[in-house]
Structure 1
Amino acid sequence: MAPEQSEDRTTFRAATTADVPALVELVESAYRGEASRAGWTTEADLLDGRRTDADGVAEVIARTDGLLLVAELAGEILACCQLEHRGDRAYFGMFSVRPGRQGGGIGRTVLAEAERLAREEWGVGALEMTVIEQRTELIEWYERRGFSRTGIYSPFPYGDERFGIPRRPDLRFETLTKTL
């Protein structure tokens, strides 16, 4: 994927293995721990532990059926998202925006670029994702951007600390989808 630039000078590119430490830090800061509380996408009230690790990020980068899209401004990594080509759909995940930049439009810019890439470069007709059902505010944000709740749920992987340490017993994922 060639770097793309938006009007606000945000540059997009595929992540490389050299980006792994910075991307782990970004994802962790957006979702877990005290640093995540500076933004609105925190999962700190639902989960303790890690959101990802270097092996998990490197695995996403190494996949041949997708990419980890990085958004930069003046050389600073501001956001990222995972895109995985799944036939006529693309999976959208690991969406992270630096907490101090949340609420300023970078998330909408990254989502728009992910949609453009999936539609124009992969020719897919839809994006799909999973979101923890209890993340009501986040689900509403996606709905305002054209995603629909499907009513399709999958269990949270309790006991697998790669996904975090749950702080409550009722977590599950809901699949959201958006026609491109």
Structure 2
Amino acid sequence: MQAEGSGYARPFCFPAGVQQMESEFRFAMESDVAAITSLVNVAYQVEKFFKIGERTHEGEIRGLLARGRFLLFENATDLVACVYLEVRGERGYVGMLSVSPAHQRQGIAARIMAAGEEFCREMGCHFMDLSVVNLRTELPPIYAKFGYQVTGSAPFPADEMPVKLPCSFVLMSKPLMEQVSAGTDAPVGREGEAPSGMVTRR
């Protein structure tokens, strides 16, 4: 799936139950790379206790835009939140969920997650996958409230992303389709493979 070009940024239609308020969703363009990079790095300062260096860089964001999309949530003046989305067959991948520190604890993460899931559902995905670092122990309970369940683990690529502490990925998934969610577990992808949307870091 290709990213939006350098021209028109197609607005995102809000899923049912998600109020627009004074902000809007849209898909990112090439011109948004610097702003996305800055937002992600600020939002992920919380990982400094185990990670060396910044969370991402402009080259990585451009690479992700070539494979998937960044959904942006803006107010009248600022980029407030973003999330990376990638469709792979019947599975959607979500990563780099980032909310500006000044706008956290306002329900924005839940809104942009719901919008991202709706997009993947419209693209035919039956499941949504994500991964979190096991040292971020506060995250699995939060994603559990969004309907995600732990489905496995995967190694952390410390050779590519230097860390101060040993760590690994916790894999989580949720069903998107009603016919799938009824009594059916959400399988992960290939064994031992973490969802790419969350692990494609430098």
TM-score surpassing 0.5? yes
Matches within 5 A, 1:139-158: 139-150=140-151, 152-158=152-158
2: distance between equivalents of 1:178 and 1:85?
Answer: 15
Alignment partner of 1:20 is 2:33:
yes
Give the share of equivalent positions with the same residue, in percent. 35
Give the TM-score of the pair, scaled to structure 2. 0.76
Which string of whole-angstrom CA distances, capped at 9 and with x for unpartnered residues, describes residues 120-154 of structure 1? Answer: 2x02111101111121111110011100001x211
1: distance between equivalents of 2:174 and 2:168?
Answer: 20
Instruction: Give the 3-state SS of the residue equivalent to 1:52 in structure 2.
Output: coil
1:83 maps to 85
2:52 maps to 48
* Alignment size in residue pairs: 163
Alignment partner of 1:168 is 2:169:
no
Alignment partner of 1:60 is 2:55:
no
Which string of whole-angstrom CA distances, capped at 9 and with x for unpartnered residues, describes residues 102-124 of structure 1? Answer: 1111101100100111112x021
1:73 maps to 75
1: distance between equivalents of 2:75 and 2:174?
Answer: 27
Instruction: Give the 3-state SS of the residue equivalent to 2:144 in structure 1.
Output: helix
Instruction: Give the 3-state SS of the residue equivalent to 2:165 in structure 1.
Output: coil
Structure with greater strand percent: 1
In structure 2, list runs of 5 or more residues that go unmatched: 1-8, 177-202
1:159 maps to 159
1:9 maps to 22
Give the TM-score of the pair, scaled to structure 1. 0.85
Alignment partner of 1:179 is 2:187:
no
Instruction: Give the 3-state SS of the residue equivalent to 2:48 in structure 1.
Output: coil
Q: Give 1:9 deviation, angstroms.
A: 2.8
1:136 maps to 137
Q: Give 1:83 deviation, angstroms.
A: 0.6
Moved over 3 A (4+): none
Name the stretch that deviates more: 20-29 or 71-80: 71-80
